[in-house]
Amino acid sequence: MSEPPQPESPPAVQPAATAAAAPLDFATVEELVRHRLSVALGGRRGMVEGAVPTLGFTVTYVVGHNLRLGLSVGIGLAVALLAVRLVQRQSVQFVVNSLVGIAIAAAFASRTGKAEDVFLPGIIYNAVYAGAMVLSVVVRWPLVGLMIASVTGDITAWRRDPAIVRLCTKLTLILALPCLLRVAVQYPLWLAGEVGWLGVTKIALGWPLQVAALAAMAWLLARGRTPLVVPPEVSEPDPA
């Protein structure tokens, strides 16, 4: 008597396939981008934490015309915000970003002795960031598309869908607009040494402008329902 056939063992799950399928908590590209942008910006508190040190420096310097005192106030406020986060055992990512930013600004201003140079790193950052986003659109690799690539596990799959490329292009350009506007407004003020107006425009063109850009993106995302599809893993043919 021949032995009964043994049941076949289930095929082993490939790590790459698991990694690609795991993040499918999002049915559409719009849902994914909304989530990623919310996490990246840190919500209202994260944006406020980024503005407070700059506000402290600007007000202190405009009132007292003391560069060292203004920098001390700005750094002190950033450290205080960091301490609050640590006490509350919450993520310090956005406070650390603010602290690093004010520290770099302080290094620039301390080296030259010019208060307006506190704002120079931010102007350079916005110029580079805007340039990178515009360039990514020109070469048809819009940066927002990389958010999708990080979830699907395939860096090129999203580019095969013209609808996704168009959506990511629009979103990338919307993100670039605030950066371009900040450079266009703040660079002439920096050349003129207008510290007070630099502080005002940095805050006014900071989170309020970012919120406006996000509102435009939310409107665009709410209108679309672009399916988010993970490309199936291509299996190699069995040798003959």
Q: Which amino acid is at 46?
A: G
Tell whether 137 is covered by a domain. Answer: yes
Tell whether 125 is covered by a domain. Answer: yes
Domain hosting 60: range is 26-223
Tell whether 190 is covered by a domain. Answer: yes
Quote the distance between the C-alpha of residue 18 and its chain's center: 27
Are 209 and 178 contacting, i.e. CB atoms less than 8 angstroms apart? yes
pLDDT of residue 12: 38
Hunting for tokens 């063109």 — which residue is that? Answer: 205
Nearest-angstrom CA–CA distance, 190 and 200:
12
Quote the distance between the C-alpha of residue 181 and its chain's center: 17
Which of the residues in the chain have pLDDT under 50? 1-24, 231, 233-237, 240
Tell whether 228 is covered by a domain. Answer: no
Tell whether 74 is covered by a domain. Answer: yes
Distances (CA, A) of 132 to 28, 37, 39: 26, 18, 21
Model-level pTM? 0.68
Tell whether 88 is covered by a domain. Answer: yes
Domain count within the chain = 1
pLDDT of residue 30: 67
Tell whether 235 is covered by a domain. Answer: no
Are 54 and 201 contacting, i.e. CB atoms less than 8 angstroms apart? no
- At 170-197, the pLDDT tens digits run 989 998 999 999 999 999 999 999 988 9
